[in-house]
Amino acid sequence: MRAVTTELPDEPAPTPYVARYRRVPPILMIVAGAFAFGKAIRWIAGAAHGGHPDRVPPPMALAVASILLTAAGAVRLARARRTGGIAFAVDADGIFLAASRDGGRRFAWDEVSALVLFSRRTDFVHGAVRCVGLRVHPTAPGSPERHLAELDEAVSRHDLPLGVWARLRRLDRRPTREGLVLAVSFHAEARGWRYHSARLARAMRAHAPGVPVVREPSERYYDLVGWRADQDELRRILQDAELGHWC
């Protein structure tokens, strides 16, 4: 008898998770800004012809509102255009994270050790902004461990002036061992876009089962990202030292 073999169908590839910028809110902001600007012009024209300015909003407030709304809407549209409308994505190749400086960056899976979901309390309006952060491996560029190693190396130099060395010593605010575990190297605020936590967690399990998804409360915001301010200051200090800009 002839053996009969059956081929099992290939399993479908996991579906990428993509979060896109919303286009309607920035467009509405631009329209509202144009409307406020038109109201300001009509107020000025009415006042010039002996109207009753006490019955309508002052033109300065309308002009400022129009500028703020139009600028904010234009910035959001430009940011979305730089990344093709994609704010955040998880796929077989890694994670794409939008950034305001360079439009966005892709991280391969061998760079990422954890995906951190947290929030930041807002100062202007009471509330919180949701954030997505990446914890990279300790040996990867941009990790807090690399920053601490660079700081130790800089402090141990003997060719720096006393003023530069004192500035470096003030940066020696080491996070605790627990704080280093999930210190976020890169993050993006979910402004103009949203992410669904459950679907995101499923996509992470499908594409990178070894990379955990961690949720942190808003009270942990500074512990997660605060060390990056010291990283930027360290770069400025060393740049000044190399250029000879010290007292």
Q: Which helix (H) or strand (E) holds 113?
A: strand 112-121
Please provide residue 137's backbone torsions phi and psi, each rounded to the nearest 5 degrees: -65, 150
Distance of alpha carbon 118 from alpha carbon 220, whole angstroms: 8
DSSP of 71-107, one letter per residue? Answer: HHHHHHHHHHHHTTTEEEEEETTEEEE--TTTS-EEE
Q: To the nearest whole number, what is the mean pLDDT of the chain?
A: 75
Quick check: 235 pLDDT over 80? yes
How much is the average pLDDT of 29-46? 59
Question: How confident is the model at residue 113, as a pLDDT?
Answer: 92
pTM for the model: 0.69
Span 92-98, average pLDDT:
91
Tens-digit pLDDT profile for residues 209-226: 999 999 988 888 888 888
Q: How confident is the model at residue 8 (pLDDT cuts 50, 70, 90)?
A: very low
113-156 pLDDT per residue, tens: 999 999 988 766 567 889 999 999 988 888 888 888 888 888 88
> What pLDDT, on a 0 to 100 scale, did the predictor assign at position 84?
72
Q: Would you state the pLDDT for residue 34?
A: 59
Residue 36 in this model has a pLDDT that exceeds 90: no
Rounded distance, CA 17 to CA 27, Å?
25
Confidence (pLDDT) at 196: 92
**What is the reported pLDDT for 247?**
38
Confidence class of residue 228 from pLDDT cuts 50, 70 and 90? confident
Tens-digit pLDDT profile for residues 156-213: 877 778 888 788 877 766 666 666 777 898 998 888 788 999 999 999 999 999 999 9
Residue linked to tokens 């966005």: 104
Tens digit of pLDDT for each residue in 101-123?
A: 556 789 999 999 999 999 988 76
**Stronger pLDDT, 104 or 247, i.e. the higher one:** 104
> Is pLDDT at 51 greater than 70 in this prediction?
no
